[in-house]
Structure 1
Amino acid sequence: MAQPLSDAEREKLRKIIGVMRSATIEGERKAAEIAATRLAKANGMTLEEAEKEAFPEEDNGRIDADERAAQQREAARWAANMVRMTEAYEASEKYRFMMAKEEAKRRGLEEQETAARARRTAPNRPRRYIPGKDDEFRLIAGLLRDGVSVERTAELVGVSTIDVARVWLLTRGKRAA
């Protein structure tokens, strides 16, 4: 004798039948069918009866017009609630964004952003790199390490041979250590 399904059993059966109908792997579909059949037999039904019980919206004329209208009203009410919730969420997110933007302006981030934007959009001018004393020291040391003569190093870097000798003496102690 068929027993009516509880809400939990109905939901479980809906999920199992959903897998049975939509699975792309044959073994998965067969396992879902076996599980649905087992659940239906436990309640004294065939698989077809259990499907009708689990999916009353697929009634094929079993539900009268009043019940169908009630289901449609419920679905429309649910959809309207979802639209309202979505609109409220979007409005709250927009409000939070505007408040964050105002807070950023208050802290002075707007001016920083404007200045950064101006720097990004300014025409690209070639930047001249002006080497400092440290750069000169590293260049001389590198040339000497590569075996370039003192005179040629002085000529390439644009310094006197005395400056090159000074760097050579300073780096000689580092190489020995």
Structure 2
Amino acid sequence: MLSRSVSRLVSVASRRGFAAAAAAETKANPDELRLTFASPDKALYSSAVVKQVDVPTLAGMVGVLANHVPTIGVLKPGVVQVTENDGNAKKYFVSSGTLSMNIDGSCQVLAEEVLAVDEIDESAARSELEAAQRAANEGSDLAKAEASIRAEVAEALLKAASGQV
């Protein structure tokens, strides 16, 4: 019994040591936040050093700075704000995706869909919200569930477009 516990401990310790060694090999600086922010059709940031990234997750808004504790999160529809080193903040709407903050100071935000907030068509978002809300009251349970998800995304899109983030 004790040997299994020791074996597990050694296994975990060696993996942690491997992660630290890998970070050292890449000459990573944990005092920098290196952001990769992408969707299937575009990469907005690729290991770019930034000051901060704020991400909407199912657990709430997560603000990530350099030296952040390693974290994994699921994105919810909302606005990702990237504050670059010069203080310039850029806002992007995401529909869903994942957040991964690693021990080496790298952060990945991988989104299903990404759109710059200033490119959102507010009237189209409003129309989509109304259509999704109507559809949520009709059809099968599956159709209602899908319409409810569409409505959640459209509502977040409309809030982003109107600056109610």
Task: Normalising by structure 2, report the TM-score.
Answer: 0.21
| Larger RCO (CA under 8 A, 6+ residues apart) | 2
The structure with the greater share of residues assigned to strand is 2
Structure with bigger gyration radius: 1
Task: Normalising by structure 1, report the TM-score.
Answer: 0.20
